[in-house]
Amino acid sequence: MSYPQSANDPQGTEALREALRDAQRRLAYFERFGTLIQDQMAGVVERATQISEENERERNLMSDEVSRLRAEAESLRRQADYQRSQAEATISRANQDAAALLRQVHDATRSLVETMVARLESLQREVTSGSLAASEVSGRSGGAVSAPAPPPSPVPTPYESRSSGLSNGIYGSMAVPPPPPVPPSFSIPSSPVPEPSQSSAASTTTTSRTRLVVHPVMSYEELIRFQQSLRDQPGVEHVEISAISDERCEMVVSHEAGTSLETSLQQVSGRSLRITGRSSDVIEVEVAQSDSVGR
């Protein structure tokens, strides 16, 4: 804005006055809103300071957490290394113990096999000498006593094949000793074998066995009561439960040949029965729904 140079110029004076009034208005405007702007700036600065402090605290907390996690990771790594070393030492000791135990078992097996071979050879020599002695006795007796059969040839046993694998084939020649010599046989008249009595033979032929199939399956208590009640009937000797499925129960009834098993079933106490099938040795029975379970 340009101002007139002469103070006597009325237009210049008026312009100066207008500029002064404009400056006063600007000053009043800034005086009116300056305090508000200053307060707002102070609030912004204070909030920025708080945020900075919070960020600093968060940064410190994160740094502490990272340090703690690193320390825990290092501790876990040391523990893992220790556990790994302990496991390796345990496995090594176990392998050594197993190897020592295997050596002991191998030595004990070899010693046992050698002992058994020596005993078998000694027993074979004794049996051979006994056979020769029996032959001499038979020759002196003039044939009155039958000579024992010659000892069979040695037959290798399955144990020899297993022991030969453990002993590198040095025990493959182990053989079963021959049986002891047959004692001299004399002709002794044998007594006649008694024949079974007619009463015992008749008793074995008068018992019949019938398979009883019961529908549907009863509970265990009811099945036991049914079995006991049928067993108490005249002519019934034994009742055995042979099979139980989801739909039926099978029993084997031993009774006298002249006993009517259908009549005995009808007389079972507390049961409403209906015979649904009959063959030579099988009877099918249906139990009333009120007396069965598992429907």
Partner residues linked to 278 by β-bridges: 283
Which of these, 78, 162, 179, lies nearest to 126 by C-alpha position?
A: 179
pLDDT > 70? residue 169: no
If one counts every other C-beta atom within 10 angstroms of the C-beta of residue 111, the result is: 10
Contact of 110 with 167, CB cutoff 8 Å: yes
pLDDT in tens, 207-229: 888 998 988 888 888 888 888 88
User: Domain 202-291 maps to which CATH number in 2.60.120, 1.10.287, 3.40.50, 3.30.70?
Assistant: 3.30.70
For 177-195, the pLDDT digits (tens) are 455 554 444 344 444 444 5
pLDDT at 127: 87
3 state SS of 210: strand
Token look-up 């790594």 returns 77
pTM higher than 0.95: no
Taking the C-alpha atoms of residue 81 and residue 72, their distance in angstroms, rounded to an integer, is 14
Tokens of 121: 């050879």
241 burial (CB, 10 Å; 0-12 / 13-18 / 19+) is middle
Q: Label residue 137 by pLDDT band (50, 70, 90).
A: low
The residue-averaged pLDDT of 61-85 equals 94
